[in-house]
């Protein structure tokens, strides 16, 4: 690996073997977390139905800021690793690479990425307590990402470096946007459109990576399972459709179309 990949002490000292063992033994906990999350959403909305919505702007700003900083750091560290793999060994190696999970510069961030999908469920708490519209895409996305991330980390599947780096990057922009909005800043509409466009692009990229992993999976250096590839493909395809519909309804659909639908 390139000598420029210098790891910080906390990254180098992180024990990825213990992390892997933990996920292999406990990845099923993601189902418990998802079930608990769904129950809390339902009863939380029932609880808030006859109550005044809470403002929570300051807690939301701090929450979003912490996730933005985390995502920016994850983007820089995993992105630097992936850039070095591509420029040193080529694109195919970057897709099939599994050293991402154990390399000094990226192993902590791979673990942190998978683990972070649990606390990110907290995003929905603010929606429920502030009585905002909770769409299917939001909670479906949170649950399935949690399940797939934990499932994939335990097997150290090929493609993980791209999945995590791209997601870190999108979240860096997304949570920065949420932070600005919670702080009361007027963010231009095109920036929100850009974030959704990035999310759609992420789904195309995810499907492409999984397609390449499938094509190269017989290569000893491109390790994955058919279950992972199928589950991941269904997940990314559903995201692609849902985010595309969201983009159309939020930014392209004209008011006249909405009035026509209501009359029909």
Q: Are 134 and 35 in contact (CB under 8 A)?
A: no
Q: Are 161 and 74 in contact (CB under 8 A)?
A: no
**Catalytic entry in 89, 138, 141, 218:** 141
Q: Are 36 and 119 in contact (CB under 8 A)?
A: no
Q: Is 142 a catalytic residue?
A: no
- What's 207-232 look like in SS3? HHHHHHHHHHCCCCCCCCCHHHHHHH
The angle subtended at Cα 10 by Cα 122 and Cα 179, nearest 5°, is: 30
* Extents of the domains making up the chain: 22-256
pLDDT in tens, the chain (264 residues): 555 578 999 999 999 999 999 999 999 999 999 999 999 999 999 999 999 999 999 999 999 999 999 999 999 999 999 999 999 999 999 999 999 999 999 999 999 999 999 999 999 999 999 999 999 999 999 999 999 999 999 999 999 999 999 999 999 999 999 999 999 999 999 999 999 999 999 999 999 999 999 999 887 789 999 999 999 999 999 999 999 999 999 999 876 555 555 444
């Amino acid at each position: 690996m390139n000598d420029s990949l210098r790891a910080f002490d906390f990254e180098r000292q992180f024990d990825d073997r213990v992390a892997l063992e933990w996920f292999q033994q406990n990845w099923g906990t993601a189902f418990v977390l998802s079930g608990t999350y769904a129950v809390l959403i339902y009863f939380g909305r029932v609880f808030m139905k006859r109550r005044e919505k809470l403002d929570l702007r300051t807690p939301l700003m701090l929450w979003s800021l912490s996730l933005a900083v985390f995502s920016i750091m994850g983007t820089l560290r995993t992105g630097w690793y992936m850039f070095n793999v591509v420029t040193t060994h080529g694109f195919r190696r970057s897709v099939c690479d599994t050293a991402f999970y154990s390399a000094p510069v990226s192993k902590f961030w791979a673990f942190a990425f998978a683990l972070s999908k649990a606390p990110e469920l907290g995003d929905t708490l603010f929606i429920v307590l502030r009585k905002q519209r909770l769409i299917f895409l939001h909670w479906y996305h949170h649950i399935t990402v949690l399940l797939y991330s934990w499932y994939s980390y335990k097997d150290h599947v090929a493609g993980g470096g791209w999945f995590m780096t791209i997601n870190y990057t999108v979240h860096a922009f997304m949570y920065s946007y949420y932070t600005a909005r919670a702080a009361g800043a007027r963010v231009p509409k095109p920036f929100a459109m850009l974030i959704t466009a990035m999310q759609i692009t992420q789904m195309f990229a995810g499907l492409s990576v999984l397609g390449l992993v499938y094509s190269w999976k017989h290569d000893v250096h491109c390790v994955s399972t058919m279950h992972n590839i199928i589950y991941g493909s269904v997940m990314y395809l559903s995201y692609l459709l849902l985010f595309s519909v969201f983009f159309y309804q939020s930014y392209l659909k004209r008011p006249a179309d909405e009035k026509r639908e209501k009359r029909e």
